[in-house]
Amino acid sequence: MCSSRIPPAETSVGEQPGRRYHHGNLRQALLEATVRLIEAQGIDQVSVRAVAKMVGVSPGAPFRHFPSKTALLTAVAEQAMDRLKEEIDKALAAAAGENALMRYRALGIGFFTWALGNPVHFQVISTRAVIDFEGSSLKARNDEIRAVMAGMMRDAQAEGLLRQGDPVRHAVAGRALGYGLARMYIDGQFPSWDLENLNPLQEVIGIFDQFIASIAA
């Protein structure tokens, strides 16, 4: 009945299930279906079985590609982190000639652009209960970004760009501010703060800029 199955188009694996899957890139299809399921139902509603069904495959099939549900979600987080790093690298490249504080700003804007543009990915990365942060590439990647931020703040102080205070504490504060703002936006808290006039990214950048102005010399 289906002896001449055509494989699904090389990279675009997000169409309607198409009854028979067999080969094709199941791994990537599962990752994409997981993201779509989180978008549609929320992260706590994700089940491996539902993802398998979306992709048209049996309940056990995903376990040939991911040893556990946690591993599946961790893989989604790793893809998310890769995209974040790209966004940050792009922003940093564009700000290469500027001073340390402006490079710090560029990094922050890269982060906000990514987080508000990919809320599901941000959510997965920041939901530690459900991913294996320590045992994956996530920790190293995260530490890289942290080190870059801390270094910039130190440079900013050395260049006399900071008004006062400990650069490490400023770096931590900036990170916490970024994390908290992204989270508040995604949790839908902006309307309560009367922050619905501008578009959210503009608003977040405005707040971040005010933070930078506060610590600047």
41-75: string of b/e by CB count within 10 Å (b at 16+)?
eebeebebeebbebbbbeeebbeebbeebebbbbb
Euclidean distance between CA atoms 100 and 153, whole angstroms: 7
- Which of the choices its own copies, DNA, none does residue 100 contact, using the CB cut-off of 5 to 8 A by kind? none
Q: How far is the CB of 20 from DNA (least distance, A)?
A: 7
* Helical pair 100-117 and 137-158, crossing angle rounded to 10 deg: 150
Euclidean distance between CA atoms 103 and 142, whole angstroms: 18
As to burial, measured by CB atoms within 10 angstroms (0-12 exposed, 13-18 middle, 19+ buried), residue 19 is exposed
Q: Is 2 in the site for its own copies (CB under 8 A)?
A: no
Closest CA to 153 of 216, 63, 86, 95: 216
Q: How far is the CB of 23 from DNA (least distance, A)?
A: 6
Q: Is 169 in the site for its own copies (CB under 8 A)?
A: yes
Q: Which is nearer to its own copies, 63 or 133 (CB)?
A: 133
Q: Which is nearer to its own copies, 26 or 109 (CB)?
A: 109
Residue with tokens 């006399």: 160
Site string for its own copies, 108-147 (x = CB under 8 A): -------------------xxxx--x--------xx--x-
Q: Which is nearer to DNA, 17 or 165 (CB)?
A: 17
Site string for its own copies, 58-97 (x = CB under 8 A): ----------------------------------------
Interacting residue ranges for its own copies, rule: CB under 8 A? 42-44, 127-130, 133, 142-143, 146, 150, 163-166, 168-173, 175-181, 183-184, 187, 192-195, 206-207, 210-211, 213-215
